[in-house]
Amino acid sequence: MQRTRVKICGLTTPEQALQACELGADAIGLVFYPKSSRAISIAQAAQIQQAFPAFVSAVGLFVNPTRAEVEQVLQQVHLDCLQFHGDESEEFCRSFSVPYMKAIRVRDGLDLQSEILKYSKSSAILLDSYDENSAGGTGKQFNWDIALQCVQSSPAKIVLAGGLDASNVASAIAHVRPYAVDVSSGVEQAPGSKSIERMQAFFNEVRSV
């Protein structure tokens, strides 16, 4: 069985990013969405990215950005993957010559399989909880059976997000068998401030499965 990869999202300092990497993070999410409590500037992102050791991916998170906004970030920060969390089209997502991951917020009435097919060129599909007031990082959990159906029926790499923390991530992995898990608020002591103890507990649970 393949190991479950881990992305820690919403890091705001080089020190916390390095801690996450040393604990075993495969990817670090840098938030370029101004309305997020975890948003950082391009200059901050460049500083954080410099702290990454080898073999850790930098993922830039955007929500309905303009082309110019994405290109400005790419000119100054090395990103291994773009994560789009809004209503971006597949054509827009793949137009930057950088691998991308599309986030889909699970909600009633959404034809999830059809949505996944729209983004067939993506490197992965991230499934997150739906909140009408937030694009992510809500700490809310959705029905994991839905994610399991996607893993079983879709060729896409499924990344599970939404309400994960040390108390439930082992159960989530055992139930869904996702390609990766993505956590933000579940390892925080405050929005944008990660807790090394909570990150350590999270990684311990991931490895226990």
Residues acting as catalytic residues: 9, 128
Residue at 182: amino acid letter:
D
pLDDT, residue 132, reads: 66
Convert the pLDDT of each residue in 117-152 to its tens digit: 999 999 999 999 877 665 555 567 889 999 999 999
Rounded CA-CA distance 12/19 in Å is: 12
Question: For the chain, what are the domain ranges?
Answer: 5-208
CATH number of 5-208: 3.20.20.70
Rounded CA-CA distance 44/34 in Å is: 13
Q: How many residues does the chain have?
A: 209
How far is C-alpha 153 from the chain's CA centre?
A: 21
pLDDT, residue 1, reads: 58
- Angle CA 183–18–54, to nearest 5: 100
Rounded CA-CA distance 70/96 in Å is: 8
pLDDT, residue 139, reads: 63
pLDDT beneath 70, residues of the chain: 1, 132-139
pLDDT, residue 34, reads: 95
